[in-house]
Amino acid sequence: MIKFLDLQKINNQYRDELVQAATRVIDSGWFLLGEELTQFEEDYAKYCGTKYALGVANGLDALRLIFKAYIEMGLMSRGDEVIVPANTYIASILAVTDNGLLPVLVEPRLDSYNLDASLIEVAITSKTRAVLTVHLYGQNSIDDQMLEICQKHNLFLVEDNAQAQGGVWKGKLTGGIGDAAGHSFYPGKNLGALGDAGAVTTNDKELYQTVKALRNYGSHKKYENIYQGLNSRLDEIQAAFLNVKLKYLPKEIEKRREIAEQYLKGITNPLVVLPLVPDPQQHVWHLFVIRNNNRLKLQQILLESGVQTLIHYPIPPHKQGAYSNFNENHYPITEQIHREVLSLPMSPVLTDKEVQEVIQLINKFKG
């Protein structure tokens, strides 16, 4: 069986170091907001090229806390609008609505699956305060046009960098291009903890200080609460695991890029649409997503030959029960993407032989 993602194998590469890290935390008797977290925040900010990084409980909270902080800072208020790609994972949108802000869904480009910057301006109203752009599948989604529009209309540019740690655009890393970014270290993400974890990065000192209080009951000083905060801290034990895994992230991204290159070169079946990659540095291949108009059959054939695939994502947010107010809306590109996408096995522990096997099976597919 070629697994979609073999987390056991991935973490087993670092088993000794992970055990040491866990032991260090257990023996320290200190489990929250300690040295492991401080170390991780320093190293992760350095990695992203930002002044600040703050560990939080998960990726959804990272995004929730950014918007909550902007509200506490008086820069946004309930009822304000945030532009979000219609084809994102639902977490991006939950972070907006959880704060009483209104998501304005905008279509992605069919070639990159990322927010179509040319459609942003028509969606802007007097209530628009931010663009929440998502580096979907691991590919940077920011371009000059998006930055110019945000500047011209005085909008915050917030990055959902749950899937793209390590992507580079014009010498900057994703998570360090916009005003603030939310990151996820969910076990299956490119930098995966051994449980839930996330981070906020920014160069904005006031935002940093506000999120820092908000993640800890709205408090800078014990028992003094200046905001109605959350409990959203990154555990010492997860920070310790991330301190181990962050060191290996660049190597793992390189491996993902090698595998993607093999897929891109090897898959020649005209029935399959490959991802478009204008600049290899901008993609860290969290997912390798192909399109086919009979993807369930392709998925079934692959599975029968021992290849696991997944669909990211089968139902778009505007068709979910959670957002019944959007159910009647129509986003044809988003809907096409959700009908046709299929994610092939992708991880730094896939072997060349496994990759070639997947390629051959796909090339044999007759539709």
Ligand X SMILES: *Cc1c(COP(=O)(O)O)cnc(C)c1O
Q: Are strands 219-221 and 224-225 parallel, antiparallel or unpaired?
A: antiparallel
Written as one letter, the residue type at 2 is: I
Which of residues 186 and 263 has its CB atom nearest to ligand X in the complex?
186
**By the rule CB under 6 A, 163 interacts with ligand X:** yes
**By the rule CB under 6 A, 235 interacts with ligand X:** no
Q: Give the x-and-dash track for 261-300 against ligand X (CB under 6 A).
A: ----------------------------------------
Shortest spacing between CB 317 and ligand X, in angstroms: 11
Q: Which of 130, 134, 121, 124 is nearest to 87 (CA)?
A: 134
DSSP letters spanning 262-309: HHHHH---TTSBPPP-S-GGGB--S-EEEE-TTHHHHHHHHHHTTB--
**By the rule CB under 6 A, 302 interacts with ligand X:** no
Phi-psi region of 13 (alpha: psi -120 to 50; beta: other; left: phi over 0): alpha
**By the rule CB under 6 A, 58 interacts with ligand X:** yes
Quick one: which of 21, 54, 56, 60 contacts ligand X (CB under 6 A)? Answer: 60
**Token output for 263:** 């897929």
**Token output for 296:** 């369930």
Which of residues 197 and 355 has its CB atom nearest to ligand X in the complex?
197
Shortest spacing between CB 115 and ligand X, in angstroms: 12
Phi, psi of 96 (to 5 degrees): -75, -55
Residue span binding ligand X (CB under 6 A) among the ranges 4-12, 155-163, 225-233, 276-284: 155-163
Q: State yes or no: is 189 an active-site residue.
A: yes
Phi, psi of 85 (to 5 degrees): -65, 135
Q: Give the x-and-dash track for 166-185 against ligand X (CB under 6 A).
A: ------------------x-
Which SS3 state, helix, strand or coil, does residue 360 take?
A: helix
Q: Which residues bind ligand X (CB under 6 A)?
A: 58-60, 88-89, 91-92, 134, 160, 162-163, 184, 186, 196, 198
What residues are labeled active site? 189
